[in-house]
Amino acid sequence: MQKLFLSLACSLGTGSVAWACPWCRPRVQAGIYTPAYTTNVLLVLLPVAVLLALGLALFYWDKLRPYFGVSYGKS
Amino acid sequence: MASPNTVALRRTPLVAAGILLGAGLGGFVDGILLHQILQWHNMLSGQLPPDTLVRAKVNMYWDGLFHAAVWVLTAVGLGMLWSATGRHDVPHSGRTLLGGLLLGWGLFNVVEGIIDHEVLGLHHVYEYTPNHLPADLGFLAFGLALLLGGGALVRAGRIR
């Protein structure tokens, strides 16, 4: 029984699934770090940056308002 | 100096905190539900279809970057909420906060839907169909419904 488990563990360890990552990792890295890497980063982050800017502008609106010359009269 | 009873109340810090928290959590709904569980699209699946293991793993990297960004959005929103709740000029209103959360989720859908799906074409809501428009429009319509619901809740939480 021990031999059976040992041979099963060995076959799993040397099987195609276990070798998949060492084999594909350089190709994955080559697919990520292309000449378009910086462009892709900026494109992926663009919507989040827009939302972050909106939220921050609203949170600090009272401090920002004078810079934009917005006035709601006396309150 | 104005006392806490006479100071003018402002809801914008609470709404802003709710918007960032809602946008961050809405981003997680998109990433967890549509990218990972349903696997309808990935971040760059419009340009790099995940039809091989290598391409799927490259898309996984960009999904990870997107998740990191919405995590930052959520963390900043949490910081704002902490700051807003400590201010005596910001009312403690559950309706306003919930409205802000819905506004944020709706804004996420609309902003991400317009920029990523329609303008840049990085991906579409459901990639595995020749006609991407219905699902893309459904995503935008859900965002608009959230904006309307959030706006109504924020109005309902108004100080009278």
Mutate: best of A28, A33, A59, partner B, most B CBs <10 A: A59
How many angstroms separate the Cα of B9 from the Cα of each of A58, B47, B68, B88, B93? 15, 48, 34, 8, 11
Task: Examine the domain organization and report whether A47 and A64 are in the same domain.
Answer: yes
Mean pLDDT taken over chain A = 80
List pLDDT tens digits, range B24-38. 999 999 999 999 999
Asked if residue B96 lies in contact with residue B15, where contact means CB atoms within 8 angstroms, the answer is yes
Chain A residues lying within 8 Å of B53, measured CB to CB: 20, 24
Domain tally, chain A:
2
Task: Examine the domain organization and report whether A41 and A28 are in the same domain.
Answer: no
In a domain, A61, yes or no: yes
In A, residues 14-43, which contact B (CB 8 Å cutoff)? 20, 24, 27-28, 31-32, 40-41, 43
In a domain, A39, yes or no: yes
Task: Examine the domain organization and report whether A25 and A39 are in the same domain.
Answer: no
Task: Examine the domain organization and report whether A2 and A12 are in the same domain.
Answer: yes
Task: Examine the domain organization and report whether A24 and A50 are in the same domain.
Answer: no
In a domain, A23, yes or no: yes
In a domain, A51, yes or no: yes
What pLDDT score was predicted for residue B123?
A: 97
Average pLDDT estimate for A17-40: 84
Rounded Cα gap, residues B67 and B119, in angstroms: 21
What pLDDT score was predicted for residue A75?
A: 40
Over the Cα atoms of chain B, what is R_g? 19
Rounded Cα gap, residues B41 and B23, in angstroms: 19
Mean pLDDT is lowest, of A4-8, A37-41, B111-115, for A4-8
List pLDDT tens digits, range B52-102. 999 999 999 999 999 999 999 999 999 999 999 989 889 989 999 999 999
Rounded Cα gap, residues B74 and B97, in angstroms: 14
Domain interval for residue A1: 1-33
Helix locations, chain B, DSSP H: 12-29, 53-85, 94-112, 133-156
